[in-house]
Amino acid sequence: MAEMHLPGATRELADLRRRLAPEPEAAFRAFSKAVFAEGALDARTKQLIAVAVAHVTQCPWCIEGHVQAARKAGASGEEIMEAIWVAAEMRAGAAFAHSLKTLDLLAAEEDGKT
């Protein structure tokens, strides 16, 4: 099996993305800037949320960028790891919660409804 190649973020690739679709690129950057701006949640909290979500979505670039941004915003290593554990519990919790579908099917089978 071939190893997966994950290219690093380079100026050349960023420029190519911008040239191929400049309007969506600009809109995405503006959206990102608005989302991470100080508001009801401070920058540190927003970055901790982003760290957790990046681990659930399993995006290595998001993990790297948001861990660095969380540290810059003042998050400790302990806070970052705790956010990751919250993400892990939520991901596992979804499988646990969705087991109700299987249990319902099994119960129906036992009751002769299938």
**pLDDT per residue as tens, the chain (114 positions):** 678 788 888 999 999 999 999 999 999 999 999 999 999 999 999 999 999 999 999 999 999 999 999 999 999 999 999 999 999 999 999 899 999 999 999 999 998 876
**Rounded (5°) CA angle 14-46-66:** 40
CA distances from 71 to 39, 43, 100 (A): 19, 11, 39
pLDDT of residue 76: 98
pLDDT of residue 12: 95
pLDDT of residue 6: 81
51 close to 83: Cβ distance less than 8 angstroms: yes
Cβ within 8 Å of residue 83, ≥6 positions away: 48, 49, 51, 52, 70
How many separate helices (H) and strands (E) can be counted in the chain? 5, 0
Joined together, the tokens standing for residue 92 give 């596992």
Taking the whole predicted model, whether its pTM rises above 0.95 is answered as: no
CA pair distance 43, 68, nearest whole angstrom: 12
